Structures are given as C-alpha cells and as structure tokens.
C-alpha cells in the first residue's frame, strides 16, 4: 500500500516538474538548442548602412587625427559598418540589398541580402543546395587596433539565413569578400582591415556604440 502511495507521489512530482518545465520553456529551450544568441540578434535594433552614415563615420574617425582633435569619438552601428564597408566589405553595399548594422554586447554585426554565388560554392559546401539564389549573410565580430594606422574587424560569427558556418570557413569566406585582394600584413586570417589615423590608440564596443580613443599624448 505504502509502496503504491510512494509511486503515486513520485509520479505527481515528475508531472509537476514537467509542467513547470513546459511553462518556462521560452527561457531554457533556446539556450539548450543554442538559439539564444540567434534570438538576441533578431531582436536587436538595426540601422541602415547608407553612404551618408559611412561618410559621417569616416569624418568622426578622421577627427582623431587632427592636431587639436578630441580624446575620443563615439560611432553609431551604421557609421562603424560604413567605415568597414568602405574597404573590404564594399561589395555588401554594392551587390547586396539593404545592408544594416547593429551593436550587440561587445560585437558589431553587419547583414545584407546578396547573391550567394558571389561567395563561391566551395565556401558554403552542401549548404549551398539548401538556399536560394539570394539570401541573408550576417557577419558578427569585434574591433581592435593592430598597429598604428591599422585596425581590424575580427569575424567570430557568420550566418547564411539561419545557418551558422563553422569557424574554419571564415578565412575562405573573407577571401571571397576581398575580391582577390591580397591579405593585409598584420591582419588575422579571420579579420578584415580598417585604415585609421595614426593617433587612434584603442577601440571599445559597449552599450550599443563603438568608441575610438585617441592615443595618449606624450
């Protein structure tokens, strides 16, 4: 008798735990499936990357190079992406549609719809057969100063539609985006170069913005 009651009690407990897990599934299921970061990216505030934003970003960066320039400048996501697009990622703005940018945590994200054939079938591998002729490419990464006059956009995440590409593919993908241009000495294989004034000493990504700091004057 008591064994039966004990089993019923255990069953009730299991059902209670299961019910609680079901009611709170929106909290733990995305993390379990590795989708929490994807949801964050989707829910972020995106800014269109326009020629005007790129020009504004470049003007802010150049101010640090002036003799009486400010100690720091803060760039909006679209301005940062515009500066990056101005160099190695130019084709995202030319061949792509509606390039946009966001800052999430300590990463800068750029996305655009483009012709997947521009990436090369060897980069996407079997994934190419599961996608259309045009789809969304998303790049996420960090910014850092490499040496005087040179910074880099270190790509840590690449997605095509909702599919994440393995890190080993990133250098080959960036090679396609460079359109045959030789890698810049000092820049990592998984990064894209950004030319900056010599006076830029540091860059930090936080609170939805990117801040460039002038190197301390002697």
Per-residue model confidence as pLDDT tens digits over 36-46: 455 466 556 89
Q: How far apart are CA 108 and CA 42, in angstroms?
A: 14
**Is 0.85 surpassed by the pTM of this model?**
no
Helix (H) or strand (E) holding 110: strand 107-115
| pLDDT per residue as tens digits for the range 158-170 | 888 777 888 888 8
Residue 93 exposure: Cα atoms within 13 Å on the Cβ side: 20
Report, as an integer, the average pLDDT of 151-160. 90
Residue 22: CA count within 13 A, CB half-sphere: 6
Distance CA 5, CA 63 (A): 77
Q: What percentage of the chain carries pLDDT values higher than 90?
A: 24
Is the C-alpha dihedral spanning 137, 135, 174, 195 positive or negative? negative
pLDDT in tens, 58-116: 999 999 888 888 999 999 999 998 888 765 555 554 544 578 899 998 899 998 887 76
């Amino acid at each position: 008798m008591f064994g039966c009651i004990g089993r019923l009690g255990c069953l009730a407990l299991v059902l209670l735990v299961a019910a609680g897990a079901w009611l709170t599934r929106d909290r733990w299921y995305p993390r379990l499936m590795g989708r929490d970061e994807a949801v964050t990216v989707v829910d972020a505030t995106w800014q269109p990357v326009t020629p005007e934003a790129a020009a504004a970003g470049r003007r802010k960066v150049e101010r640090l190079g002036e003799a009486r320039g400010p100690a720091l400048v803060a760039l909006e996501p679209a301005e940062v992406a515009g500066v990056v697009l101005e160099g190695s990622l130019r084709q995202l703005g030319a061949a792509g549609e509606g390039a946009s940018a966001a800052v999430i945590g300590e990463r800068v994200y750029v996305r655009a719809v483009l012709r997947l054939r521009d990436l090369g079938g060897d980069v996407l591998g079997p994934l190419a057969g599961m996608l259309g002729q045009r789809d969304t490419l998303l790049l996420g990464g960090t910014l850092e100063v490499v040496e005087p006059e040179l910074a880099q956009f270190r790509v840590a995440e690449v997605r095509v539609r909702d599919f994440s590409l393995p890190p080993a593919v990133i250098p080959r993908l960036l090679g396609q985006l460079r359109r045959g241009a030789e890698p810049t000495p000092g820049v990592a294989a998984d990064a894209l170069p950004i030319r900056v004034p010599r006076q830029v000493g540091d860059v930090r990504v936080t609170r939805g913005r990117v801040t460039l700091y002038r190197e301390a004057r002697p």
